[in-house]
A and B are shown apart, each in its own frame.
Chain A
């Protein structure tokens, strides 16, 4: 239960910069998430926070206390940081109760037992206290690992790809469960994952990482609707970029019509520094920004379609030849090559300078 602050943290192996100038603040009791493709440095960031990797520059503070700075680190066992590992790393020679109670020290046996019981109840495994890890299913092992990490009431919980060893359906259910458990224990938690659905369903704050840097530290909603740059726009959610022409600093015209938004349009560097009329930009269109409407006069050709159950994801070829995506309820089953009516339903204009 403490605030976590990373203040321009850098770490490198030899010449290779793993994380660069990493800064974010995770408020007390909040659940944060580092999201990024493999090799983006998110796991290293986690290991720096847990105290297994030194940092070269910057500072890491937990609850206002500096735990890492360049050439100094508080040993992992003194940090009161709990960690849930990707492979759970349960102790195979101890029972479930033994695992959960492992980190409880300096307490009476009764106190220990009470805390173990409390946590097993919290994660719904009271009936399994006497079993050994190998007798449990993957999801149950995961919850034992979480209970073990929570038991000593750490100031911070870290989770490394917590659901990657589970099958897809279980992941979704467990991520909601885990969020619930963390919130009930009122623990500050930081989770690392490459799966945006996991990040969105778990976290209050998400940092998208790429090449060792945080691209954007924001709420899931803002990441999707107001991505700060092309990488975030591409990595989070689906979408397509179409050419637009700037009308003024909050309006852009694309071939389907004029879009208005509240964030400033990011303009072309060549020739127009300020966003004035006729600058060219790339406008992000999410699949939910284009709505199918049989009455619309705007027509687009169905180039490809993917059945998603409740809806189709159509890849559309616009009159100019540019491509866009559209999410359409699945009773609108159109054939490939058919021309269908569409209209714009854009809340947030996201435009990037052209490269």
Chain B
């Protein structure tokens, strides 16, 4: 219990730290913030939430309904392929979109020179950001809504039809409202990612809190301003968290069993063609075209860029993701075990708190964890100087400590989910059976739990590994000198507008990102059988 509380406390540190930054106000910076930056930041953020929320809901729900409930050519393929955009970090989709659609990009050039068409809407706009984010994040809604429809859609429709409603009425009046908690949960996850996103916003030059925090950190060198901005962002995030948790509670109450014989709706040839076209276009612009473009760009630059420096970036990415994943899995395992040892409402709340870090934007965590570590560092240095004649300027600051700690907080939930559910599958009777057969605590762990948890541990590690590899703001803001990763390289190249040279590191990240999607769909089909 104490251990679980300690882990939960780690999550609270950034919150407390960022909010306490208001205690020491740097007058002119704060005044500047309030007068010029804040109104724009809040406005931009609200537009983003509105637009992306609408975008992911429409895309996610409609595609989920088509693949879960209807029959049309290619449905089996789309069923899992529509998850693939998850492998593309939004910032990759973003720079590919700009590279393709910008005034100097191939599409506009071709239209202009070949057909004399000009005046296409500017991609670097609010609409462009919303479009890119929606395409990158709709799988969150799609995945969870698909599960909801697959488990209760057929029953809902049949019940509605038996009461005299048409299919369309049945969808809007029964199936959709029934799936609302699921859709809302997926939507909130997508919005949390939107609020947390840094890379896309930086590429589009669209000012939101994450980019403002970064600027305060690097351009103004004002920790306090960064922390104050972070605390406002946390407020937005907490609203999303509350909605998400409420939806999850409703999911538990309204969960129904799998519908027995799932009969899909046979679409008429015209509708089937339209469905195919729709799903195909979404898949193409959200995944296939960006991936192809990445590959093409990579081919252009690979001869020059695939050098020792590139391998150093890749090595740093793999090393950090590896250490981070190991930490996440270890702590998640401890937390899950604590829950098994002392179950109860107090433990449940502690676990929930401890895994809340997924909601906090990386930029917030970077600030919220750097400040206390720096303070600790100063204290250590002062003490060291007074007692041992130590003369350095940093002990922890120059190390990976802050970065790894931030990874841990942000991605603990990713590892905790599979491990906890894996541990729940080992019933108490299994433990007792082993003890009856003369096995002590150590034997229980090595002979029963670890072998039974192997798949869950592997899943947890993979998810955490890939998420850390994709992660941008924490790495960017807290990496020690000389620790550039693939994601950092992508940021540097895109901030100079060199899309082609950002392609090579992006491609490596995307390829790594496909692994968990394969795991996800494999697991999905396995649990169906």
Chain A residues with CB under 8 Å of chain B are: 50, 52, 75-83, 85-87, 89-93, 102-103, 105, 148-149, 151-152, 154
A50-B432, A83-B433 provided; 17 other pairs, C-beta below 8 A? A77-B436, A77-B438, A83-B436, A85-B429, A85-B432, A87-B427, A87-B429, A89-B430, A91-B433, A91-B448, A92-B452, A93-B451, A102-B434, A102-B437, A103-B437, A148-B437, A154-B436
Q: Is B439 an interface residue (CB 8 A)?
A: yes
Chain B positions 483-505 with a Cβ under 8 Å from a chain A Cβ:
none
Q: Is B435 an interface residue (CB 8 A)?
A: yes
In whole angstroms, what is the CA distance A85 to B433 when docked?
A: 8
Minimum CB distance partner of A84 in chain B: B433
In whole angstroms, what is the CA distance A115 to B452 when docked?
A: 25
Interface footprint category on B: 10 to 19
Contact string against A for B residues 422-447, beta-carbon threshold 8 Å, 1 for contact and 0 otherwise = 00000101101111111110000001
Whether A93 lies near B436 (C-beta < 8 A) is: no
* A89-B440 in contact given A52-B432, A76-B435, A102-B434 (Cβ < 8 Å): no
Q: List 11 A-B contacts (CB under 8 A).
A: A77-B435, A77-B438, A81-B436, A83-B436, A85-B429, A91-B452, A92-B452, A102-B437, A103-B436, A103-B439, A149-B436
Whether A50 lies near B436 (C-beta < 8 A) is: yes
User: Which residues of chain B have C-beta atoms less than 8 A from A79's C-beta?
Assistant: 436
Determine chain B's interface SS by DSSP, over half rule. helix
In whole angstroms, what is the CA distance A87 to B433 when docked?
A: 11
Instruction: State how many angstroms separate the Cβ of B243 from the closest Cβ of chain A.
Output: 37
Minimum CB distance partner of A103 in chain B: B437
User: Which residues of chain B have C-beta atoms less than 8 A from A102's C-beta?
Assistant: 434, 437, 439, 447
Which of B436, B439, B440 has the largest number of chain A CB atoms within 10 A?
B436
In whole angstroms, what is the CA distance A75 to B427 when docked?
A: 20
Chain B positions 426-479 with a Cβ under 8 Å from a chain A Cβ:
427, 429-430, 432-440, 447-448, 451-452, 454
Whether A77 lies near B448 (C-beta < 8 A) is: no
In whole angstroms, what is the CA distance A202 to B383 when docked?
A: 75
User: Which residues of chain A have C-beta atoms less than 8 A from B448's C-beta?
Assistant: 91
Instruction: State how many angstroms separate the Cβ of B438 from the closest Cβ of chain A.
Output: 5
Minimum CB distance partner of B454 in chain A: A93
Whether A89 lies near B451 (C-beta < 8 A) is: no
Whether B433 lies near A105 (C-beta < 8 A) is: no
Instruction: State how many angstroms separate the Cβ of B439 from the closest Cβ of chain A.
Output: 6
Whether A89 lies near B429 (C-beta < 8 A) is: yes
6 closest cross-chain pairs (CB), A and B: A103-B437, A89-B429, A85-B429, A89-B433, A93-B451, A76-B435
Instruction: State how many angstroms separate the Cβ of B182 from the closest Cβ of chain A.
Output: 29
In whole angstroms, what is the CA distance A52 to B428 when docked?
A: 11
Instruction: State how many angstroms separate the Cβ of A185 from the closest Cβ of chain B.
Output: 16
User: Which residues of chain B have C-beta atoms less than 8 A from A52's C-beta?
Assistant: 432, 435
Whether A152 lies near B430 (C-beta < 8 A) is: no
* A77-B440 in contact given A91-B452, A93-B452 (Cβ < 8 Å): yes
Instruction: State how many angstroms separate the Cβ of B458 from the closest Cβ of chain A.
Output: 14
In whole angstroms, what is the CA distance A92 to B429 when docked?
A: 13
Which of A80, A85, A151 has the largest number of chain B CB atoms within 10 A?
A85
User: Which residues of chain B have C-beta atoms less than 8 A from A76's C-beta?
Assistant: 432, 435-436
Instruction: State how many angstroms separate the Cβ of B414 from the closest Cβ of chain A.
Output: 24
Q: Which of these, A82, A87, A90, A92, contacts B436 with CB under 8 Å? A: A82
In whole angstroms, what is the CA distance A89 to B432 when docked?
A: 9
User: Which residues of chain A have C-beta atoms less than 8 A from B454's C-beta?
Assistant: 93
